[in-house]
Chain A
Amino acid sequence: MAASKLQALWNHPAGPKTIHFWAPTFKWGISIANIADFSKPPEKISYPQQVAVTCTGLIWSRYSLVITPKNWNLFSVNVAMAGTGIYQLTRKIRQDYFSEVQEAPVEG
């Protein structure tokens, strides 16, 4: 019985034999890469990239709830993206604008 349930999952139209599974699943890689980068010095963070990560995360979080069917995997991965993006941005903003201002590199 468990075997046939597993089989149903395996053969699902959005299951692990399809791109509909692996593409959103791999999107976690972006958040994981960002988390790995939490330990990098803020000078190395790229504003444009993290803004893109944050905005994509926010927009897709909203839209994964309005598509049919609701895609909770897509929702959670985009929430994580927005979260890690926001955190990286606050790290960099804190360093650029709120710490000792010797030569605050003001770049976008």
Chain B
Amino acid sequence: MYLAGKVAMSAFRAFWNSPVGPKTTHFWGPVANWGFVVAGLVDMNKPPEMISGNMTAAMCVYSGLFMRFAWMVKPRNYLLLACHASNESVQLYQLSRWARAQGFLDKKEPEVQQ
């Protein structure tokens, strides 16, 4: 029990003092970006008429680019990568909901309504 506590404390200390830890911007920037994922998840239950095609499409490109950025930046930022990979999934799903509501995914002639 004591040993488990010691291990936990040293793991926590390693995290706390990490060059990408909570004392650094490399941590809080990505944390802020998780807001997009949370917002996207909350919005999954809203009717598709409320989805902004502009914003969702922009998010899809944005998160795609930032997944690559998180991988290439020094130090490599796995938290940012995870955040944008999640956001990419959520935003692509929202985009598909929006597209279906707009009639873009029908087989027949889609009525292009904005």
Contacts and interface: CB of A to CB of B under 8 A. Distances in A.
B61 interface: yes
B69 A19 contact: yes
Contacts of A34: 54-55
Interface string B68-102: 11001100000000000000000000000000000
Contact of A29 (B35, B58, B69): B58
A48 B65 contact: no
A63 B61 contact: no
B72 A18 contact: yes
A56 interface: yes
The size class of the interface chain A forms with chain B is: 20 to 34
A43 B38 CA distance: 20
Contacts of B62: 23, 26-27, 29-30
Q: Is the interface of A mostly helix, strand, loop or mixed?
A: helix
B50 A46 contact: yes
A60 B52 contact: no
A49 B40 CA distance: 7
B22 to A, nearest CB: 13
A59 B28 contact: yes
Pairs of residues from A and B, 3 with the lowest C-beta to C-beta distance, nearest first: A52-B35, A48-B39, A23-B69
21 contacts: A19-B65, A19-B68, A19-B72, A22-B65, A23-B66, A23-B69, A27-B62, A29-B58, A33-B58, A37-B55, A40-B52, A46-B39, A46-B50, A48-B35, A49-B40, A51-B39, A55-B32, A56-B36, A59-B32, A60-B32, A63-B29
Interface of B: 25, 28-29, 32-33, 35-36, 38-40, 42-43, 46, 49-52, 54-55, 57-59, 61-62, 65-66, 68-69, 72-73
